[in-house]
């Protein structure tokens, strides 16, 4: 029986299918749904879990080479939120120091979603906090 780390079996199954250069979306509670990709909904209530909670759990076993996020994230959130995301992003650099962060218009970010392996829906209310991770 798994006793630490990610316990959700649907989430574990989704993560196990990711290969080199595949992408996965980690989204807030209001992010649009895409019927053509698998969605694992781990939202419990507003704010639980946060996108950064999921990112922090992935550090141990997900080698990320690239992250996409909406550029609007930077202008709509307080510094404390920006710092929390930066810390979560930096956690991936211990496995891959060349990590690339790309910020683009939110509408362009959404255009990348259909090519992803899946989407993890959280309870996060952070404006434009959604991220797309690409495995190395």
Query: Of the residues 3, 20, 36, 98, which is catalytic?
Result: 20
The verdict on whether 20 is a catalytic residue reads yes
Residue 109's nearest CA partner among 55, 76, 69, 58 is 69
Name the token pair of 15.
């993560």
Which residues lie closer than 8 Å to 4 by C-beta, 6 or more apart? none
* Continuous H helices in 43-132: 51-58, 72-76, 79-90, 106-112
Local structure of 19: helix, strand or coil: coil
User: Catalytic amino acids?
Assistant: 20
């Amino acid at each position: 029986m798994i006793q630490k780390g990610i316990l959700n079996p649907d989430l574990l199954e989704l993560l196990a299918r990711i290969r080199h250069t595949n992408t996965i979306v980690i989204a807030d509670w209001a992010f649009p749904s895409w019927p053509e990709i698998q969605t694992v909904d781990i939202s419990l209530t507003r704010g639980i879990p946060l996108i950064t909670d999921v990112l922090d759990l992935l550090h141990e076993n997900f080698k990320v080479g690239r992250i996409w996020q909406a550029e609007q994230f930077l202008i709509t959130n307080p510094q404390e939120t920006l710092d929390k995301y930066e810390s979560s992003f930096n956690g991936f650099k211990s496995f891959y120091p060349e990590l690339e962060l790309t910020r683009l218009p939110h509408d362009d970010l959404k255009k990348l979603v259909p090519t992803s392996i899946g989407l993890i829906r959280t309870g996060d209310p952070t404006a434009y906090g959604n991220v797309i991770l690409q495995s190395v």
